[in-house]
Amino acid sequence: MSGEVRYAQDVRLEGQWHAALVRSPVPHGRVRAIDVSKLPPDCVALLPEDVAGLGRYGCQLKDQEVLADPARFAGDVVAALAASTPEAAREAARLVEVEFEELPAVFDPVTAVAEGAPLLHPEAGAVREGAGSAPAGAIVPADDAVSIGVRPLAGTNVCHRFRLLHGDADAGLADADVVVDETYRTASAQHAPMEPHATAARWTADGRLELFTGTQTPFNLRADLAGLLGVDEEHIRVVAPPMGGSFGAKTFTRLEAVVACLARKAGRPVKAVLDRAEEWVTLNRHPAVIRVRIGAARDGTLVAKRLDCWVDTGAYADCGPGVATKLGYAGAGPYRIPNVRVDALAIYTNLPPNGAFRGYGAMQSVWASERAMDLLAARLGMSPLELRRRNLLRDGDRFATGEVMHDVHFEECLQAAADAVDYERDPHGKGLSVLLKGMQTPSRAAIAVERTPVGYVVRCASCEMGQGVRDSVRLQAAALLGCEPGQIEVPDPDTNSAPFDTRTTSSRSTYMMGRALEEAVRDLQTNGGGRGYGEIANEGGLDPDTGQGIASTHWHQGAAAAEVSVDEETGLVTVEHLHAAVYAGRVVDRAGAELQNEGSMIMGLGTALLESVDHADGQITNANLSDYNVPAAGDLPRRLTHDLIERDDAEPHGLGETALPPVPAAIGNALASLGLELTELPMTAERVLEAVDAAAPAEVGVRG
Amino acid sequence: MTLDLLLNGRPTALEAEPAETLLEVLRREAGLLSVRLTCGIGVCGACTVLLDGEPVSGCLLRAAQAAGREVTTLEGIPAEHPVRRAFAAEHAFQCGYCTPGMVLTSARLLEEIPDPSDEQIAEGLGGNLCRCGCYLKIRAAVRRAA
């Protein structure tokens, strides 16, 4: 507010130089030679021989090298430069000449799993966990950040296969009175945080590494770098200043590996701040192709569902295995279905890596599943609202994973959304969508409280990215300690002084840190009032081969409703009213909660109508904020409203992303109510016009 | 070259290279870190400064073009300014990165249109992106300050 927040991009280390990265122009190519003969003397180049002895990194599969060879996407980093100013570094990077031997490339996840497709990581899948020691060069699963068994398929581009098997889906579909079989697609998206990725690294004289970096995952980062660099975790310090937005972009190891290596070679601190265009080759959202088969009895009772999902993770796995898993079980939907089969593949392609993005896989499968529900309702001759109501999970029901549901509010969310647009009176031009989304399970959180002369210092690794976690911690601590929020100091996360936390993702921090804080305050009060420490864990996890187990400690539950009008001449969709209803449990920070709902809905609107990372022959074609449109003030729906569904005695529920995934499907279903069937996101004017052309004129009730 | 300008109300001399943008010089030479680079092409508003009272993109403007002129950044807007107070009261920010540009643009908008409609606010702030999506509360803040 005062302009005084200092982000990672503002960090200035004594004597620091600046980094620029040399990127591959080809989407797949072996590095034949790097010519640095034109470099001026006053710069330092990090070259393949400098990192030859290092291992590989990656949060779920260790498949990434500090400098890539082969380059596996156009934009992959093959060398790095440091110089005294950002301009000098960039100029030096331009003088490096790299010779590539181009390799065949693949840019579509369905093609990438076809017979004969070029392989990005031929060594992937050579070893499975528990199968003994890995052969030299094999890609091994990371054991620090991954909470699922990773299942690469040897000799393919599949870096993870998640299956969920519940009953007999094929038999159920054969028995169903009505079956829908449709395939849906979602585009890649760019997080586009206002602050780009920024990292500063410094090595101490005794071989310790200090990083000041915009990250949501300081401890995962520390473990990944320790493995890569062969340095003890305790000798790596990660400090995470507040981020100017992240939305998943600043998770796991991004610039930190190459900047750390560059700083070591340069013998001085080095800082990197990405150019805007580089954001599009750093991390995007997983595009997905999802085939839905869902069957119901004549009365609308769901009997079976099959989902086949091709999830494009780009050139490196990153958290693609986790995204495919969450996408997979979220796609089962918040319904009682006796027979469910999900097969979700995380697939390598020669595109920039895709990773965590607000909604984490749920948006993709909610788009597919909730669009299919409206198609099923139409075939049954039922109201989409009634079809959902008849099948929604309730307290005590078993989800497809086998776990028993508790604190369930799907129907309440759905009804609130429907009522907001007066759906039951007139569903024309309106659409609904409901979602279930898990929270990171298993995970651990810990927090330390210390009394000071003026109040308390609360140390934890929950990272601030605008979601308001510091306020949430401060407010909860003040309430527990009986003081004013202003007396609570919450320093930036620092792995040297904050206790371990799994990471700041999946809308878990208010809930998990809140519980750890209760423990810490109890500890403080029973130990003289000076210091307290609290630690909690949530247990669970899914078997990747059956999808059975505990997917989530508790459930993020929400619904959206949209009312739209369409200009049939231009294909322009106007969202007249967008509403989200989200189960919040106990609200800790009301303004923060409202902002999370509003921000999620607006980002969902961008996903629905505007945003797509486009590429041609593996080159991103819209890597700037003019060609890639994120919602501006003028893009908002005519009305944007939301509900926080609260229970004073309930536990807090994270709200950081629940209102995003249902938005595109609600808008898609509103278009479907006008006879316009869209299966692919975003719903651009061009695609809407195609749907207008495809619809029989008599069926289209277009309103302008 | 030396750039002489009236910066946040004070006559100031800053060292600048001829090709540099105002954004680079304000951040490096004047330490004004509320001026922030995002898009680099003048569409997002994160680098907004007021040049003789008009919002401009600091990422596009050459520093030399500010010579002899009045430049205002968020640091030059007092905390008790009605727009700053309204942004705080309405919680009209999340990560805070776009906030300086939003505040400066809103302040100018309210000088031109003292009681703007929702459409006028959306249009007036059309060149300022907030990826956190705080637009409703930003609109409420502008209305509160009107």
pLDDT, mean over chain A: 95
| Set of chain A residues whose Cβ sits within 8 Å of the Cβ of B100 | 3
Which value does ipTM take for this structure?
0.98
A277 to chain B: closest CA residue: B39
User: ω before A682 within 30° of 0 (cis)?
Assistant: yes
Cα-based distances in Å from A147 to A178, A250, A446, A541, A685: 38, 19, 18, 7, 41
Query: What is the 3 state secondary structure string of A273-310?
Result: ECCHHHHCCCCEECCEEEEEEEEECCCCCEEEEEEEEE
Given a cut of 80, whether residue A328 has pLDDT beyond it is yes
Q: Do B36 and A6 touch (CB under 8 A)?
A: no
Q: Do A625 and B38 touch (CB under 8 A)?
A: yes
Instruction: Extract the tokens encoding B11.
Output: 């006559």
Helix (H, G, I), strand (E, B) or coil at A387: helix
Q: Given the structure tokens 């591959």, which residue do they identify?
A: A24
Per-residue pLDDT reduced to its tens digit, A533-581: 999 999 999 999 999 999 999 999 999 999 999 999 999 999 999 999 9
Q: Which of A193, A467, A591 sits opposite B131 (nearest CB)?
A: A193
What's the one-letter identity of residue A417?
Answer: A
| Confidence band of A149 (pLDDT split at 50, 70, 90) | confident
* Mutation target vs A (from B28, B94, B104; most A CBs, 10 A cutoff): B94
pLDDT at A69: 97
B27 to chain A: closest CA residue: A10
| Confidence band of A127 (pLDDT split at 50, 70, 90) | low
Name the percent of chain A lying above pLDDT 90. Answer: 93
SS3 content of chain B, % helix, strand, coil (to 5): 35, 15, 45
Helix (H) or strand (E) holding A226: helix A218-229
Q: How far is B125 from chain A (nearest CA, A)?
A: 7
pLDDT at A68: 98
| Set of chain B residues whose Cβ sits within 8 Å of the Cβ of A216 | none
Q: Do B33 and A3 touch (CB under 8 A)?
A: yes
Helix (H) or strand (E) holding A584: strand A572-585
Q: In what order do the strands lie in the sheet with A43-46?
A: A43-46, A77-83, A17-23, A270-273, A198-203, A209-213, A236-239
pLDDT at A125: 73
| Confidence band of A129 (pLDDT split at 50, 70, 90) | very low
Q: Which of B88, B95, B139 sits opposite A465 (nearest CB)?
A: B95
* Mutation target vs A (from B17, B41, B97; most A CBs, 10 A cutoff): B97
pLDDT at A139: 74
Helix axes A384-391, A410-420, angle to 10 degrees: 170
Asked which of A100-109, A354-363, A504-513 is least confident by mean pLDDT, the reply is A504-513
pLDDT at A131: 47
Number of continuous H segments (helices) and E segments (strands) in chain A: 16, 28
Q: Do A624 and B39 touch (CB under 8 A)?
A: yes
pLDDT, mean over chain B: 97
Chain center to CA of A564? 28
Distance separating alpha carbons of residues A333 and A3, to the nearest angstrom: 43
Q: Do A466 and B121 touch (CB under 8 A)?
A: no
| Set of chain A residues whose Cβ sits within 8 Å of the Cβ of B101 | none
- Contact (Cβ atoms closer than 8 angstroms) between residue A23 and residue A81: no
A146-185 burial: b if 16+ Cβ within 10 Å, else e: bebbbbbeeebbbbbbbbbbbbebeebbeebebbbebbbb
Per the model's pLDDT, the better-predicted residue between A648 and A515 turns out to be: A515
Q: List the one residue out of A262, A294, A276, A550 whose CA is nearest residue A406.
A: A550
Q: How far is B135 from chain A (nearest CA, A)?
A: 6
Q: List the one residue out of B35, B52, B33, B53 whose CA is nearest residue B44.
A: B35
* Mutation target vs A (from B41, B83, B95; most A CBs, 10 A cutoff): B95
| Set of chain B residues whose Cβ sits within 8 Å of the Cβ of A602 | 133, 135
| Set of chain B residues whose Cβ sits within 8 Å of the Cβ of A627 | none
Q: How far is A454 from chain B (nearest CA, A)?
A: 24
Q: Which of B91, B97, B123 sits opposite A245 (nearest CB)?
A: B97
Q: Which of A3, A600, A634 sits opposite B123 (nearest CB)?
A: A634
Cα-based distances in Å from A389 to A331, A374, A433, A510, A665: 17, 13, 11, 30, 17
B87 to chain A: closest CA residue: A1
Q: How far is A634 from chain B (nearest CA, A)?
A: 5
pLDDT at A640: 98
pLDDT at A146: 56
For A470-479, what is the mean pLDDT? 96
| Confidence band of A136 (pLDDT split at 50, 70, 90) | low
Phi, psi of A10 (to 5 degrees): -90, -5
| Set of chain A residues whose Cβ sits within 8 Å of the Cβ of B18 | none
Distance separating alpha carbons of residues A341 and A585, to the nearest angstrom: 31
Chain center to CA of B137? 18
Q: Do A3 and B99 touch (CB under 8 A)?
A: yes
Cα-based distances in Å from A424 to A236, A387, A415, A642: 58, 13, 10, 18
Q: Do B94 and A466 touch (CB under 8 A)?
A: yes
Helix (H, G, I), strand (E, B) or coil at A580: strand
Q: Do A1 and B84 touch (CB under 8 A)?
A: yes
Strands A236-239 vs A209-213: parallel, antiparallel or unpaired: parallel
- Contact (Cβ atoms closer than 8 angstroms) between residue A674 and residue A566: yes
A273 to chain B: closest CA residue: B37
Distance separating alpha carbons of residues B52 and A147, to the nearest angstrom: 56
Given a cut of 80, whether residue A699 has pLDDT beyond it is no
A635 to chain B: closest CA residue: B122
Distance separating alpha carbons of residues B128 and A1, to the nearest angstrom: 15
Q: Do B95 and A591 touch (CB under 8 A)?
A: no
- Contact (Cβ atoms closer than 8 angstroms) between residue A328 and residue A162: yes
Per-residue pLDDT reduced to its tens digit, A187-244: 999 999 999 999 999 999 999 999 999 999 999 999 999 999 999 999 999 999 999 9
- Contact (Cβ atoms closer than 8 angstroms) between residue A185 and residue A681: yes
Number of continuous H segments (helices) and E segments (strands) in chain B: 5, 5
pLDDT at A70: 98
Please check whether residue A359 touches B, CB under 8 A. no
Q: How far is A563 from chain B (nearest CA, A)?
A: 19
pLDDT at A145: 52
Q: Do A602 and B79 touch (CB under 8 A)?
A: no
Instruction: Extract the tokens encoding A579.
Output: 């509403």
Per the model's pLDDT, the better-predicted residue between A147 and A103 turns out to be: A103
Q: Do A1 and B136 touch (CB under 8 A)?
A: no
Asked which of A148-157, A245-254, A606-615 is least confident by mean pLDDT, the reply is A148-157
| Set of chain B residues whose Cβ sits within 8 Å of the Cβ of A591 | 91, 137
Please check whether residue B70 touches A, CB under 8 A. no
B83 to chain A: closest CA residue: A1
What's the one-letter identity of residue A257?
Answer: A
Helix (H) or strand (E) holding A272: strand A270-273
Q: Which of A3, A194, A603 sits opposite B95 (nearest CB)?
A: A194
Please check whether residue A276 touches B, CB under 8 A. yes
pLDDT tens track, chain B, 146 positions: 999 999 999 999 999 998 999 999 999 999 999 999 999 999 999 999 999 999 999 999 999 999 999 999 999 999 999 999 999 999 999 999 999 999 999 999 999 999 999 999 999 999 999 999 999 999 999 999 99
Q: What does the DSSP assignment read for B94-141?
A: SS-SSHHHHHHHHHHHHHH-SS--HHHHHHHTTT---TT--HHHHHHH
- Contact (Cβ atoms closer than 8 angstroms) between residue A96 and residue A33: no
Q: Do B122 and A195 touch (CB under 8 A)?
A: no
Given a cut of 90, whether residue A400 has pLDDT beyond it is yes
Q: How far is A575 from chain B (nearest CA, A)?
A: 15
| Confidence band of A648 (pLDDT split at 50, 70, 90) | confident
Instruction: Extract the tokens encoding A182.
Output: 């449709």
Instruction: Extract the tokens encoding A299.
Output: 């009365």
Q: Which of B39, B44, B94 sits opposite A467 (nearest CB)?
A: B94
Please check whether residue A685 touches B, CB under 8 A. no
Please check whether residue A612 touches B, CB under 8 A. no
Q: Do B96 and A192 touch (CB under 8 A)?
A: no
Q: Given the structure tokens 């004073």, which residue do they identify?
A: A648
- Contact (Cβ atoms closer than 8 angstroms) between residue A187 and residue A611: yes
Q: List the one residue out of B91, B128, B88, B89 whose CA is nearest residue B106.
A: B128
Q: Do B39 and A625 touch (CB under 8 A)?
A: yes
Distance separating alpha carbons of residues B127 and B44, to the nearest angstrom: 6
Q: List the one residue out of A489, A506, A511, A508 whose CA is nearest residue A498.
A: A489
- Contact (Cβ atoms closer than 8 angstroms) between residue A366 and residue A662: yes
Q: How far is B26 from chain A (nearest CA, A)?
A: 13
Distance separating alpha carbons of residues B16 and B10, to the nearest angstrom: 18
Q: How far is B47 from chain A (nearest CA, A)?
A: 11
Given a cut of 70, whether residue A704 has pLDDT beyond it is no
Asked which of A68-82, A271-285, A641-655 is least confident by mean pLDDT, the reply is A641-655
Q: Distance between the two ends of chain A, CA-based, in angstroms? A: 40
pLDDT at A141: 72
User: ω before A442 within 30° of 0 (cis)?
Assistant: yes
Distance separating alpha carbons of residues A8 and A213, to the nearest angstrom: 5
For A153-171, what is the mean pLDDT? 96
Q: What does the DSSP assignment read for B76-97?
A: GS-TTSHHHHHHHHTT--SS-S
Q: How far is A203 from chain B (nearest CA, A)?
A: 24
The interface residues of chain A toward chain B in range 463-502, judged by CB-CB distance below 8 A, are: 465-468
Q: Do A636 and B122 touch (CB under 8 A)?
A: yes
Instruction: Extract the tokens encoding A187.
Output: 């585009």
Helix (H, G, I), strand (E, B) or coil at A601: helix
